[in-house]
Amino acid sequence: MSLISTTLAEDPAEEMFSWFRTMLDTEPVHRDEQGWNVFGYSDIARILADTKTFSSETARLFNPPQPDLDFFDMGNLVTTDLPRHRKLRSLINTAFTPRAVAGLSDRIDRITNTLLDQVKGQDTFDLVDSLAYALPITVILEMLGLPVEDEPQFRVWGDALGAIDAATVPPDLLANEVGPAVRELNEYLLEQAERRRREPTDDVLSVLANAEVDGKPLEGGEIVGITGLTMFAGHATTMAAICNAVLLFDRHPEALAEVRADRSLLPGAIEEIMRLRPPFPRLARITTVDTEIGGQAVPAGELVTPWIAAANRDASRFADPDRFDIRRDTRGHLVFGQGVHFCLGAPLARLEAKIALNVLFDRYSALSVDHTTELEFENPRQLICPRHLPVRVTA
């Protein structure tokens, strides 16, 4: 059971989207007890570009600090600022370029088919359990070189990391649940890295374990953070992208028919799906100096929450923004962030979503959400995704 998720029958993301509309129209920069919520596209683009004023090192908000998280954060790209960020990112960049991940296409296709073979002959199944969760976790574990059979354990650690919500995580949850889980994760990854130092293999973890920067090997926390982040950033998000695609196609059968008939429309449709239902609705930054956002004075040391899911629905950037249009020019959407922290795994996520959907369309002449069962959703402020997605299929 996730520490963060709530189980709701209605799609709670829709309520959040109406809140975005109200805020975009009335108060695009809003202060609450935790900090500053920012909704407009141009304000958010400026925040993401100005990494000096808007730091990613939000762990400094934890008071008291949590040592196991601090260790993990030594290599956590998302919460590290320049110049150290550049050094860490350059160590794994090459494994995730569009060209490098294109080489994984056949493997992704095979994994997808093997997973769907397990529900062969069934006319209903849960897409999360059968494909959307299992595919990205298998792919990322194989790339990193971690044993796929340890996956149930990663789920527990991933839930603990998912519970971290910048300044808002309750201190007792941080100390009693998140901390111990992160410690176990750190120890596990360190042990795996040690093995790669003794016997190098050809996976990403081996590269990290044996890398040298300025003539020195990486520190344990750096290896653990980069590996752990990549593992966790790489699966819940892609799972959400696949599920949200099936959900939106179910709500827009005319778009589904068009894509089925002309598969060259699929990549554009996936971008539009992610624009409207981005897996991560928001990012987190902290101000390093007194500044202003949208004309409002913001002091140093404050939490800033750029709601990228709202920016993607800002009418000043995307005309008729709430409309689902698979032919829309979606360039500039903020699904994967922007600037130096732009998602490292974007090419991989796009490829996995495209292959998963193509295989589903190939194997099934009809695919729809099974509305006889109640849908459950994650907390959309953390992850916009159904918790389970029962589907009905016709071979």
Residues that bind ligand HEM (CB under 6 A): 56, 77-78, 89, 96, 140, 229-230, 233-234, 237-238, 241, 278-280, 283, 335-337, 341, 343-345, 348-349
Integer Cα distance of 318 and 341 in angstroms: 23
Output the residue with the shortest Cβ distance to ligand HEM.
Answer: 345
Q: Which CB sits closer to ligand HEM, 40 or 234?
A: 234
User: What is the closest distance, in whole angstroms, from the C-beta atom of residue 366 to ligand HEM in the complex?
Assistant: 26
CB of 346 to ligand HEM, least distance (A): 6
Q: Least distance in Å: CB of 26 to ligand HEM?
A: 26
Q: Which is nearer to ligand HEM, 119 or 207 (CB)?
A: 207
Hey, what amino acid is at 201? Answer: T
Please identify, using beta-carbon distances, which residue of 145 and 393 lies nearer to ligand HEM. Answer: 145
- H-type alpha helices, 263-371: 266-276, 308-311, 346-363
Task: Please report how close the Cβ of residue 196 comes to ligand HEM at its closest, in angstroms.
Answer: 18
CB of 153 to ligand HEM, least distance (A): 19
Q: What is the Cβ-side half-sphere exposure of residue 223, based on CA atoms within 13 angstroms?
A: 28
Q: Identify which of residues 12 and 337 has a Cβ nearer to ligand HEM in the complex.
A: 337
- Name the nearest CA neighbour of 166 among 43, 289, 307, 60: 60
Nearer to ligand HEM, 36 or 393 (CB): 36
Phi-psi group of 200: left, alpha or beta (phi > 0 → left; psi -120 to 50 → alpha; rest → beta): beta
Which residue, 27, 243, 208, is CA-closest to 134?
A: 243
Taking the complex as a whole, the smallest distance from the CB of residue 365 to ligand HEM amounts, in Å, to: 27
Contact 178, 161 (CB under 8 A): yes
Strands (E), 218-359: 285-287, 291-293, 296-298, 303-306
Query: Which residue, 220 or 279, has its beta carbon nearer to ligand HEM?
Result: 279
